[in-house]
């Protein structure tokens, strides 16, 4: 959103008024005068400020300001923006004879806003070397609330239409394609000749209509690569309004009176529109654009899609104080109105195609980046899972080894248990270790290599072999002798066995295996306990092993799904590449089609403007001939 630019310009005092009163800084005549500085205007009454009659603006120009200065401050940027695709409107507003036409059209030695703008449009277009321009102009007036074409004689009372594509437009208005500022200025001259002027008490050449000079600026990129760019179309309105007037002052009657009424009415509606627009959102309500042709045509410039500059012209003489005050109030409200200008682009098929292609290209780039990232991630995860797998395999190996060791130990302990069981000594029978010790040879410890006897196959016979069953098959000689208590024993039948020795592992493992000195039942119990804890450990290690194997399987699955995903992404990337190539082919075709069309348009517009030039010069010549004829007939009449 940007506010309308508003400036106030005081014209120099009229010769008659200047003669009768001093003029300083804009105000002139009588007791009241306007004091003007760069940004402020105040009404003074005998050098004292009049309450409620002080105004502040961004730019205030006194009678010494030139058109070039005003153009530079207020309009140049708007023209440059129009060449680059923004709609623009500049108009002069003020009472009759305050200098609107002087500001917009200028005089012989001081070109006004319109001719300066025309030259600037072509200069700016020339500077934009990368773009091609097609400029059309039209010139119309609103006279007594009717629209006339100033470039075509007899083309009057043109209707206003509205469509979605074109917005509000004047149907049947002639639009000239122009190639140079000179060509436009010629057309302007032609239009001026057709415009309604009239003499009033206030102005010998008073504009009796509002005129709208319009330039439609179309441009597209020249470059082959950018030929798919959108076409920019902007509308530039340069408006010279008729001035509000007091009938008493203008002394109007008849036709002038009728004109004056229409002028005042349309300016009043313009004032209403500005008033409404300057109000804040909720109070604003309905904006009466449709109440006059002027506001309808200028609708985009008033609170719409356009950059707008208003030059409010004022007369410094005391006699016009009230009108000037009205103009300054209008200007104060207008500067509160904000517009929303934006570049106007028309998307051709080629432009659409280009944009879509660009989007696809961007998406493809994004996809490539994410594919690279995805691949890295996959690789990282694969590496990780392989490492994990190796770690698990090692752990598994370790567990297996441990299990084997445990099984081995278990087997050994089982064997020992069995061995103990085979001795046949029941813990019930020998629940006292002293009793068991008594069965041993007293110095058996000192004779570790002493022989022991093992019962032969008959030894189970209690008659001859009273060795308790649970003592197993191992006994030393003394024990044998004692236990048989004098029974006849065929010692020759005894089998010689090596002395009983605890396995090293058992003797070393003091916590799990009883020392040989410990009672056998305690050793047994310990061994069984060890056995069961080993079994438990074995079970745990088996469970761990299974868990590790499961984990490994999961990792394998994970790995294969990642590989699958990678394959899919590769497939997708391939598909996108094919799609892109197809689109590029289509784009090439569109480009060549567009080039052909451009060539055709160029040829056509050249032929058209040639024909146009011929017709314009023919028209000017014939008009001059008619004028000549008229003057010669007037001269010869008397
Ligand atoms: N800044 C100026 N410097 C010199 N002369 C000026 C200036 N402004 C206006 N004039 C002169 O004042 C007279 C009236 O100006 P102009 O016709 O431009 O007024 P206007 O506002 O267009 O009036 P109207 O509404 O009646 O058409 C003209 O003779 C014009 O040359």
Q: Residue with the nearest Cα to atom 10 of ligand 1?
A: 99
Q: What is the mean pLDDT of residues 571-576?
A: 84
Q: What is the pLDDT of residues 283-310, one digit of tens each?
A: 778 889 999 999 999 998 888 889 999 9
pLDDT for res 412: 85
- % of the chain beyond a pLDDT of 90: 32
Q: Rounded to 5 degrees, what are φ and ψ at 346?
A: -110, 125
- Phi, psi at residue 347, to the nearest 5°? -90, 115
Structure tokens at 623: 């008009």
How much distance in Å is there from the Cα of 69 to the middle of ligand 1? 17
Helix, strand counts (H, E) of the chain: 16, 24
How many beta carbons lie within 10 A of that of residue 35, not counting itself?
A: 16
pLDDT at position 453 is: 45
User: What mean pLDDT comes out for the span 430-445?
Assistant: 46
**Atom in ligand 1 nearest the alpha carbon of residue 205:** 17
Which of 16, 91, 97 is the best mutation target for the ligand 1 pocket, counting ligand atoms within 8 Å of the beta carbon and taking the most?
97
Residues constituting the chain: 638
Q: Find the 206 Cα to ligand 1 centroid distance in Å.
A: 9
Compute the distance from residue 407 Cα to the ligand 1 centre, in Å. 120
Interval 380-429: pLDDT, tens: 888 888 888 888 888 888 888 888 888 888 888 788 778 777 765 554 55
Report pLDDT for 513.
43
CA 120–ligand 1 middle distance (angstroms): 24
CA of 142 to the centre of ligand 1 (A): 20
pLDDT at site 27: 46
Which residue has a Cα nearest atom 2 of ligand 1? 11
**Closest C-alpha residue for ligand 1 atom 8:** 99
Per-residue pLDDT at 324 exceeds 60? yes
Report the nearest-CA residue for atom 1 of ligand 1.
Answer: 11
Q: Which of 375 and 508 is assigned the larger pLDDT?
A: 375
Pocket test for ligand 1, best of 14, 26, 36, 102 (most atoms within 8 A of CB): 102
Instruction: Please choose from 64, 203, 313 the residue to mutate so as to test ligand 1's pocket, defined by most ligand atoms within 8 A of CB.
Output: 203
Residue minimizing CA distance to atom 9 of ligand 1: 99
pLDDT band at residue 29, thresholds of 50, 70 and 90?
Answer: low
Judging by beta carbons within 10 Å of its beta carbon (0-12, 13-18, 19+), is residue 513 exposed, middle or buried?
Answer: buried
Q: What is the predicted pLDDT for the residue at 76?
A: 96
Closest ligand 1 atom to residue 313 Cα is: 21
Q: How many Å lie between the centroid of ligand 1 and the Cα of residue 314?
A: 10
Number of neighbours of residue 574 by Cβ within 10 angstroms: 10
pLDDT digits (tens, 9 = 90+) for 504-542: 444 444 444 445 556 777 777 887 888 788 888 888 888
Which pLDDT value is given to residue 235? Answer: 93
Pairing of the two strands 495-497 and 206-207 = unpaired
Q: What is the CA(189)–ligand 1 centre distance, in A? A: 18
- Of 146-160, 263-277, 592-606, the poorest mean pLDDT is in 592-606
Q: Ligand 1 centroid vs 30 CA: distance in angstroms?
A: 22
Residue 106: is its pLDDT beyond 90? yes
> Which residue lies with its CA nearest to atom 14 of ligand 1?
97
Residue nearest atom 23 of ligand 1, based on CA coordinates: 97
Tokens read off for 443: 């110095």
Which atom of ligand 1 has the smallest separation from the CA of 197?
27
Residue 298 CA to residue 160 CA, distance in Å, equals 12
What's the 208 CA to ligand 1 centre distance in angstroms?
14
- Cα-to-centroid distance, 204 and ligand 1 (Å): 10
How many Å lie between the centroid of ligand 1 and the Cα of residue 274? 24
User: Which one of 99, 195, 201, 323 would you pick to mutate in the ligand 1 pocket, going by the greatest count of ligand atoms within 8 A of its CB?
Assistant: 99
With a cut of 70, say whether residue 463 has pLDDT above it.
Answer: no
Ligand 1 atom closest to the CA of 102, numbered from 1: 18
Q: Which residue has the higher pLDDT, 32 or 213?
A: 213
- For position 445, what pLDDT does the model report? 43
pLDDT number for residue 224: 54
Q: How confident is the model at residue 501 (pLDDT cuts 50, 70, 90)?
A: very low
pLDDT at 433 exceeding the cut of 60: no
Q: How confident is the model at residue 475, as a pLDDT?
A: 52
CA dihedral 542, 547, 552, 553 (to 10 degrees): 110
Ligand 1: atom nearest CA of 104 is 18
Q: Using a 6 Å CB cutoff, which residues line ligand 1?
A: 11-12, 94, 96-102, 107, 203, 205-207, 242-243, 313
DSSP letter for 594, please: H
Strands 452-454 and 23-24: unpaired
Q: What is the mean pLDDT of residues 309-337?
A: 93
Q: Ligand 1 center to residue 99 CA distance, Å?
A: 3
- Measured from the Cα of 94, ligand 1's closest atom is 21
Q: Is the pLDDT of residue 313 over 90?
A: yes
What φ, ψ does residue 427 adopt, rounded to 5°?
A: -55, -25
| Test site for ligand 1: of 63, 101, 202, most ligand atoms within 8 A of the Cβ | 101
- Spell out the domains of the chain, with CATH numbers in brackets: 2-341 (3.40.850.10), 394-538 (no CATH)
State the pLDDT confidence band at 482, using cuts at 50, 70 and 90: low
pLDDT of residue 507: 41
Which residue matches tokens 């208005």?
A: 173
Distance from Cα 304 to the centre of ligand 1, integer Å: 30
Instruction: Report, as an integer, the average pLDDT of 112-140.
Output: 95
Dihedral sign for Cα atoms in the order 319, 320, 326, 329: negative
Close Cβ partners of 244 (under 8 Å, ≥ 6 residues apart): 94, 95, 96, 263, 264, 267, 323, 326
The two beta strands, 131-143 and 146-149, are antiparallel
Tell me if residue 414 falls in helix, strand or coil. helix
Determine the distance separating the centroid of ligand 1 and the alpha carbon of 318, expressed in angstroms. Answer: 17
Q: Please say whether the beta carbons of 528 and 417 come within 8 A.
A: yes
Tell me the CA–centroid distance for residue 108 and ligand 1, in Å. Answer: 13
Q: How far is the CA of 258 from the centre of ligand 1 (A)?
A: 22
619 band by pLDDT with thresholds 50, 70 and 90:
confident
132 Cα distance to chain centroid: 29
Burial class for 272, CB neighbours closer than 10 Å (0-12, 13-18, 19+): middle
Q: Which atom of ligand 1 is nearest to the CA of 208?
A: 27
The pLDDT of residue 351 is 67
Give the ligand 1 atom nearest the CA of 92.
Answer: 21
Q: Band of the pLDDT at 160, cuts 50, 70, 90?
A: very high
Judge contact between 36 and 11, C-beta under 8 A. no
Q: Per-residue confidence at 225, pLDDT binned at 50, 70, 90?
A: low
Question: Are the C-beta atoms of residues 451 and 476 closer than 8 Å to each other?
Answer: yes
Question: Is 470's pLDDT higher than 70?
Answer: no
Cβ 354 vs Cβ 228: under 8 Å = yes
- As a whole number, mean pLDDT of residues 462-484 equals 52
pLDDT band at 495 (very low <50, low <70, confident <90, very high): very low
What pLDDT, on the 0 to 100 scale, is given for residue 221? 85
- The count of other CB atoms within 10 Å of the CB of residue 23 is 20
Mean pLDDT to the nearest integer, 431-450:
45
Mean pLDDT, all residues of the chain? 79
* Higher-pLDDT residue of 252, 574: 574
Residue with tokens 């598994």: 396
The predicted structure's pLDDT at residue 579: 84
């Amino acid at each position: 959103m940007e506010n309308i630019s508003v400036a106030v310009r005081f014209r120099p005092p009229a010769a008659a008024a200047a003669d009768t009163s001093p003029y300083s800084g804009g105000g002139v005549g009588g007791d009241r005068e306007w004091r003007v500085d760069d940004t402020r205007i105040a009404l003074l009454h005998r050098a004292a400020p009049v309450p409620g009659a002080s105004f502040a603006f961004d730019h205030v120009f006194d009678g010494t300001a030139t058109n070039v200065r005003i153009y530079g401050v207020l309009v140049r940027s708007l023209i440059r923006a129009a060449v680059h695709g923004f709609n623009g409107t500049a108009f002069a507003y003020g009472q009759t004879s305050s200098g609107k036409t002087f500001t917009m059209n200028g005089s012989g030695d001081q070109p006004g806003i319109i001719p300066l703008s025309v030259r600037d449009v072509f200069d700016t277009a020339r500077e934009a070397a990368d773009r091609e321009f097609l400029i059309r102009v039209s010139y119309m007036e609103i006279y007594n609330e009717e629209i006339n074409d100033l470039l075509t004689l007899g083309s009057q009372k043109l209707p206003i239409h509205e469509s979605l594509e074109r917005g509000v437009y004047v149907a049947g208005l002639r639009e000239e394609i122009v190639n140079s500022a000179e060509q436009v200025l010629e057309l302007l001259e032609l239009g001026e000749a057709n415009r309604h002027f009239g003499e009033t008490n206030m102005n010998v050449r008073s504009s009796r209509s509002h005129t709208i000079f319009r330039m439609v600026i179309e441009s597209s990129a020249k470059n082959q690569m950018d030929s798919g760019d959108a076409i920019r179309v902007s509308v530039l309105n340069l408006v010279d309004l008729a001035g509000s007037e007091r009938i008493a002052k203008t002394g109007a009657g008849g036709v002038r009176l009728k004109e004056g009424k229409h002028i005042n009415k349309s300016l009043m509606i313009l004032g209403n529109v500005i008033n409404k627009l300057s109000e804040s959102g909720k109070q604003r309500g309905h904006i009466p654009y449709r109440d006059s042709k002027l506001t309808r045509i200028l609708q985009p410039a008033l609170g719409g899609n356009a950059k707008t500059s208003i030059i409010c012209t004022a007369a410094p003489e005391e006699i016009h104080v009230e009108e000037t005050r009205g103009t300054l109030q209008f200007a104060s409200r207008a500067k509160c109105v904000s517009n929303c200008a934006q570049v106007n682009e028309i998307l051709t098929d080629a432009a659409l195609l280009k944009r879509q292609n660009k989007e696809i290209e961007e998406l493809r780039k994004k996809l490539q980046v994410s594919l690279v990232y995805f691949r890295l991630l996959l690789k990282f995860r694969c590496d990780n899972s392989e490492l994990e797998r190796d770690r698990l395999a090692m752990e598994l190996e370790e567990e297996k080894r441990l299990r084997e060791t445990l099984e081995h130990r278990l087997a050994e302990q089982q064997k020992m248990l069995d061995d103990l069981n085979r001795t046949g000594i029941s813990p019930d029978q020998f629940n006292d270790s002293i009793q068991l010790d008594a069965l041993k040879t007293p110095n058996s410890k000192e004779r570790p290599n002493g022989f022991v006897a093992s019962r032969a196959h008959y030894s189970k016979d209690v008659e001859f072999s009273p060795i308790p069953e649970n003592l197993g098959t191992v006994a030393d000689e003394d024990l044998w002798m004692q236990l048989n208590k004098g029974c006849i024993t065929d010692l020759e039948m005894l089998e010689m066995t090596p002395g009983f020795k605890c396995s090293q592992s058992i003797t070393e493992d003091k916590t799990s295996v009883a020392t040989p000195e410990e009672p056998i039942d305690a050793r047994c119990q310990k061994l069984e306990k060890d056995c069961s804890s080993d079994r438990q450990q074995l079970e745990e290690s088996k469970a761990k092993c299974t868990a590790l194997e499961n984990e490994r399987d999961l990792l394998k699955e994970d790995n294969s799904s990642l590989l699958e995903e990678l394959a899919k992404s590769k497939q997708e990337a391939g598909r996108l590449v094919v799609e892109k190539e197809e689109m590029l082919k289509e784009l090439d075709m569109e480009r060549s089609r567009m080039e052909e069309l451009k060539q055709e348009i160029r040829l056509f517009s050249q032929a058209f403007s040639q024909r146009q030039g011929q017709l314009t010069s023919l028209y000017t010549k014939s008009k001059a001939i008619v004028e000549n004829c008229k003057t010669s007939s007037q001269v010869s009449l008397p």
